[in-house]
Each structure stands twice: as C-alpha cells, then as structure tokens.
Structure 1
Amino acid sequence: MSNDLGALVRSELFKRKMKQKELAEMLGISSVYLSDIINGRKDGPKAQEHIKHIRKILNV
C-alpha cells in the first residue's frame, strides 16, 4: 500500500471513529497484519486482495 493510500486509510478510520482493530476484524485478519499492509511492509498477492477489500469497506 502506498504511503498516500496508507494516510488515506488512517484518515478514513479517524473520520469514522473506527480503530484499525475493528477494520482488521471485518477483514478477518490480525491488526498487526493490517498495520503491515497499511504501512507497506506487506504487498504480496494476498495483501493486494485485502487492499481491495479495505478500499471497498472504506469507499476509497
């Protein structure tokens, strides 16, 4: 996930008063793994699928 997209996700979570842990639960992944995706430490095919779901959930 690019830095811009990571910042966008954090911004959307803040606007919705939602925690990363809540988003991770919605995605069925750990909050640590979600953090790795958001911060660009994970970017493989599986992470790309999760990014699609993140975009859909947050409408970004």
Structure 2
Amino acid sequence: MQEELALKVRSELFKRKMSQKELASMIGISSVYLSDIIHGRKNGPKAQEHIKHICKILNI
C-alpha cells in the first residue's frame, strides 16, 4: 500500500508541477512528516487522517 501511495502521490505532484513541500504546507504538516506518511514510516490514526486529506487534495 505504501509503495502504491508513494507512486500515486509522486505522479500527481509531477502532473501538477507541485512539490511535496507545497502539499505539506496545504495540509499543515512538515515535508519530512509528509514523506514519512507517504512511505509508511508513520501510520498511526493521525497519519491516516492526513492520508485521507492527501488523497482528497490530489484526487487519488
């Protein structure tokens, strides 16, 4: 799941010419924390909420 999420996020960011830092800023988290969530290093309840938010923003 994490690899699939990471690929989808990377692909959407590329299409939108958007950086991870910009996405993190939209969500209100650090880019390091965003990277940890996307790559499955953080997966608690709060991270799951952020994943839902990421998917909503990027339409994935």
Q: Equivalents in 1 of 2:2, 2:37: separation in Å?
A: 9
Please report the RMSD computed on the Cα atoms of aligned residues, expressed in angstroms: 0.9
What is the TM-score normalised by the length of structure 1? 0.96
Structure 2 counterpart of 1:4, one-letter code: E
Q: Equivalents in 1 of 2:12, 2:43: separation in Å?
A: 21
Higher relative contact order (CA 8 A, sep 6+): 1
Q: How many residues are treated as equivalent by the alignment?
A: 60
Cα drift, residue 5 of structure 1 = 1.1
1:57 aligned partner: 57
Runs of 4+ with >2 A deviation: none
Unaligned runs of 5+ in 1: none
Does 24-33 or 2-11 show the bigger shift?
2-11
What is the TM-score normalised by the length of structure 2? 0.96
